[in-house]
Amino acid sequence: MKLIFIYLIIAALQQQSPASRKPPQTVTPQTYGPELIRAGEARFGAECGFCHGRDTAGGETGPDLTRSTFVAEDARGDKIIPLLRTGRIERGMPAFDLNAADLEAIVAFIHDQKTKGELVAGGRGTVDASDLDTGDAEAGKRYFNGAGTCSSCHSPTGDLAGLATRFRGLPLLQRFLSPTTTRPSPAPAKVTVTTSTGEVTAGSLASRDEFRISLRDASGATRTWLTKEVKIAIDDPVSVHFELLGKYTDSDMHNVYAYLKTLL
């Protein structure tokens, strides 16, 4: 196992690809002792490795932590430890019940890997911005204004002006394909709820399931109703992106990406 791990690091060093998007630099440089890092490697592997990869560079579903802004901004666990304790349930990350020593070791290992990641470009399992440059921006523009129907909601000089300065590389591709699962979240859907007595409340969708709907009204208050007792009208233009995923060819996807990259 150890040998394999070392081999992977060597392989990554040998096979550097041009990383046009550098990983975010750690804000507060921090170092840890080798024993703590080793302990952290074991605990991280067991608790976090399935989703984030045993080397923190991404596994099933979880992001690459060596390229995480959140990790870059953490100082000795001040952000990571509270997150581990609460989880990010809505994004599929559970809460962890670990003792202080385990938490400290995990933080040490993540930062050690992050530091190594800043030295090694194009590591295992990463996607570089240059990898995505296979599309035709002109064809993308035609699709944007034509078959893709993007221009019915978006404008390159309006809401999308400067888009490519806010998102680059894979995050830009993800933003275009599925805005709701990227950060910052797009504007929430507009909701109008009408009660049986005729009271009408409008606001932004806060949460919704089959049985309850919550919105944030103009005053900022959250109000909740049982769905079976009210009439609900939802204006959610962003949801169109889901339907569009079934229409894009891979060429369309790469061409539109190339076009969006020009919106500086």
Partner 1 sequence: MVEDFSLSLRERDVARSATGRGKARDQLVVGPALTLALRAVPLPEGEGGGALMRLSIGMGLLLLISAIALAQGVDPAMLLKPPSDTWPTYHGDYSGQRHSKLTQITPDNVSRLSQIWRWQAGAPQQIKASPILVNGVIYITTPDNLWALEARTGRERWHYVAPKNDAFHIGHRGVAVYKDTVYLTTPDAHLIALNAKDGTVKWNVEIADSNKGFWSTNAPLIVGNHVMVGVSGDFDNVPGQLKSVDADTGKTQWIFYSTPPAGMSDPPSGGATGGQMWMTGTYDPELDLVYVGTGNPTPVLNGEARPGDNPWTCSIVAIRPDTGKLVWGFQASPHDTHDWDAAEVPVLVDGNFNGVPRKMLMQASRNGYFFVLDRTTGKNLLTSPFATVNWAKEIDKDGRPIPDPNKEPKPDGVLVAPNEAGATNYRSPSFDPATGSLIVSAQDGYGIYFFKKEHGAYGWAGADYNLTGRAFLRAIDYQTGKIRWSHPLGDGAAAAGVLTTATGLTFTGDVPGNAMALRTTDGATLWHAQVGRMGNPPVTYQLDGRQFVLLGGGNSLIAFALPQ
Q: Rule CB under 8 A: which residues touch partner 1? A: 1, 4, 8, 11-12, 15, 17, 42-43, 45-47, 49-51, 53-54, 58-61, 87, 89, 92, 94-97, 122, 124-127, 131-134, 170, 173-174, 177-178, 180-181, 207, 209-211, 241-242, 245-246, 248, 250, 253-254
How many CB atoms are located within 10 Å of the residue 81 CB?
17
- Rounded least distance, CB 186 to partner 1, Å: 12
- Rounded least distance, CB 4 to partner 1, Å: 7
Whether residue 186 is preceded by a cis peptide bond, meaning omega within 30 degrees of 0, is: no
Nearer to partner 1, 47 or 73 (CB): 47
**Residues 6 or more apart whose Cβ sits within 8 Å of residue 42:** 105
Nearer to partner 1, 18 or 162 (CB): 18
Nearer to partner 1, 58 or 140 (CB): 58
- Return the amino acid letter for 64: D
Nearer to partner 1, 111 or 255 (CB): 255
Helical pair 170-177 and 250-260, crossing angle rounded to 10 deg: 110
- Rounded least distance, CB 72 to partner 1, Å: 20
Q: How far is CA 220 from CA 56, 71, 223, 235, in A?
A: 39, 31, 9, 19
Half-sphere exposure of 252 (CA within 13 A, CB side): 16
- Rounded least distance, CB 7 to partner 1, Å: 8
Nearer to partner 1, 77 or 169 (CB): 169
- Assign 136 to helix, strand or coil: coil
Nearer to partner 1, 11 or 187 (CB): 11
**Residues 6 or more apart whose Cβ sits within 8 Å of residue 186:** 179, 180, 238
- Residue 101 backbone zone (phi > 0: left; psi -120 to 50: alpha; other: beta): alpha
- Rounded least distance, CB 129 to partner 1, Å: 11
- Rounded least distance, CB 199 to partner 1, Å: 25
